[in-house]
Amino acid sequence: MAPSARAEHPLLPRLQEIRSRSETLIAGLEPEDLCLQGMADASPAKWHLGHTSWFFEQFLLQDLPGYEPADSRWGYLFNSYYEAVGERQPRPQRGLLTRPSIAEVLRWRQRVTAALEQRWDDLDPELLELGLQHEQQHQELLLMDLLDGFSRNPLEPAAYPDLQPELAYERSWRSTGPGPAEWIRCEGGLVDLGHGPEGFHFDNEAPLHRQWLEPFAIADRLVRNDDFSAFIDDGGYRRPELWMSEGWALVQQRGWQAPRYWRGEWEFSLGGRRPRHPDAPVRHLSWFEADAYARWAGARLPSEAEWELAAAGGLPQAFGCLWQWTASPYRPYPGFQPAAGAVGEYNGKFMCSQFVLRGSCFLTPAGHERLTYRNFYPPASRWMAGGLRLARDA
């Protein structure tokens, strides 16, 4: 393909934009910041940058004639969980990887991006799109992992002093008016759920299937900070009758008294310590906290099927604000089949001991959200940008 024809391919500008955005996210950060791993569940920013290049090299480039992969030992460093590919650096020890340097990782990224552009005709388009969607996932992960790491520093540094992530968060909710939430009634019935065969989707979003839903009502907005403050003031973290047993044990063991980044009347953010706005949706909650609040409020969390049906009809704050916990365990849809080969390990093997979140958040790259997107985390997780929306039987 001639360079001029290749430049007109619809995926090429998308490839360039996504790859460059990952590098833009670290502009202004110090090399020390990029090796920061605050906890075992998080990963350093440098690791995210290396892993996304490893993914393209491993699954699209390394077997192409004439392509020279990186040092084979880098596969051990930047493999995440693909057992079929080989052994890897233990996740809790990714912060020990001071080498390769960030300069070496960025040079590798540039070489991988150039190879993707130059070998366009040789690439599997479905795997290429999967790689792009995968990199967008890691852009969000990079930001939430930075927030976790920076929150542990007594100096309370701002990862982004220009407040861009926080301004995006404020734009996502300021259009909603004051006052209590209103209830949207949904009649339920036999509904189609999941993604059909057309268009990109992760394997866990399929197949399209039918499910019966009883009538229900769902809140027209997310639960806000002032709502959650009332829960705390009413002894929410001291009342075992509101909590699942495992959640109550965590409250006692870890000393939970408020959402993850609350600090008195303030909260910690990617822009550093900031005043907490009472009308902003409460964020960085575990599933256990969301479930306990819903029980305290005389309501419940929506199932993911209820959420999808309501969002398909137009649900305020469904996208771009916070991921929303559902009552649904992360399980395969009827007829689910993982993809063949190592990429089949992408989602299917995690369908155990986790709960589904729906929508997207202010850290999600533009265009990455989707009605059928199924995010998932263990119920104790609090460092991702998760909130909650109430539901109840109609």
Mind listing the pLDDT tens digit for each residue in 337-349? 888 888 887 888 9
- 373's CB contacts (< 8 A; 6+ apart) are 202, 205, 358, 359, 360
pLDDT above 80: residue 107: yes
The pair of three-digit structure tokens given for residue 310, joined into one six-digit string: 């309501």
Output the CA torsion sign for 197, 202, 204, 205: negative
Return d(Cα 59, Cα 62) in angstroms, integer. Answer: 7
Record the pTM. Answer: 0.96
Q: Burial, 253: exposed, middle or buried (Cβ in 10 Å; 0-12, 13-18, 19+)?
A: exposed
Asked if omega into 240 is within 30° of 0 (cis), the reply is no
pLDDT above 90: residue 327: yes
- 74's CB contacts (< 8 A; 6+ apart) are 50, 54, 100, 108
pLDDT above 60: residue 7: no
pLDDT above 90: residue 8: no
User: pLDDT tens digits, residue range 165-182?
Assistant: 999 999 999 988 778 899
Q: Using an 8 Å Cβ cutoff, are 120 and 1 in contact?
A: yes
331 — pLDDT class (breaks 50, 70, 90): very high
H/E stretch holding 355 reads: strand 355-358
Q: Using an 8 Å Cβ cutoff, are 151 and 364 in contact?
A: no
pLDDT above 50: residue 5: no
Averaged pLDDT for residues 53-72? 96
Averaged pLDDT for residues 134-147? 98
Which of 303, 352, 354 is closest to 327 using CA atoms? Answer: 303
The helix/strand/coil state of 150 is: helix
User: pLDDT tens digits, residue range 216-269?
Assistant: 999 999 999 999 999 999 999 999 999 999 999 999 999 999 999 999 999 999
Half-sphere exposure of 282 (CA within 13 A, CB side): 25
Return d(Cα 163, Cα 170) in angstroms, integer. Answer: 10
The pair of three-digit structure tokens given for residue 173, joined into one six-digit string: 């909710």
Q: Using an 8 Å Cβ cutoff, are 11 and 128 in contact?
A: yes
| Beta strand segments in 131-242, E | 183-186, 189-193, 209-213, 216-219
Question: Selecting from 3.30.70.20, 3.60.150.10, 3.90.1580.10, 3.30.43.10, what CATH number does the domain 164-393 have?
Answer: 3.90.1580.10
Q: Using an 8 Å Cβ cutoff, are 299 and 393 in contact?
A: no
Q: Using an 8 Å Cβ cutoff, are 119 and 67 in contact?
A: yes
Q: Using an 8 Å Cβ cutoff, are 85 and 342 in contact?
A: yes
pLDDT above 80: residue 1: no
Averaged pLDDT for residues 355-379? 98
The pair of three-digit structure tokens given for residue 381, joined into one six-digit string: 């997780």
Q: How many CB atoms lie within 10 A of CB 201?
A: 18
In the chain, % of residues over pLDDT 90: 92
The pair of three-digit structure tokens given for residue 100, joined into one six-digit string: 């390769």
The helix/strand/coil state of 258 is: coil
In the chain, % of residues over pLDDT 70: 98
Mean pLDDT of the chain: 95
- For the chain, give the longest Cα–Cα distance: 68
Averaged pLDDT for residues 102-112? 98
Half-sphere exposure of 322 (CA within 13 A, CB side): 26
pLDDT above 70: residue 6: no
The pair of three-digit structure tokens given for residue 79, joined into one six-digit string: 């493999």
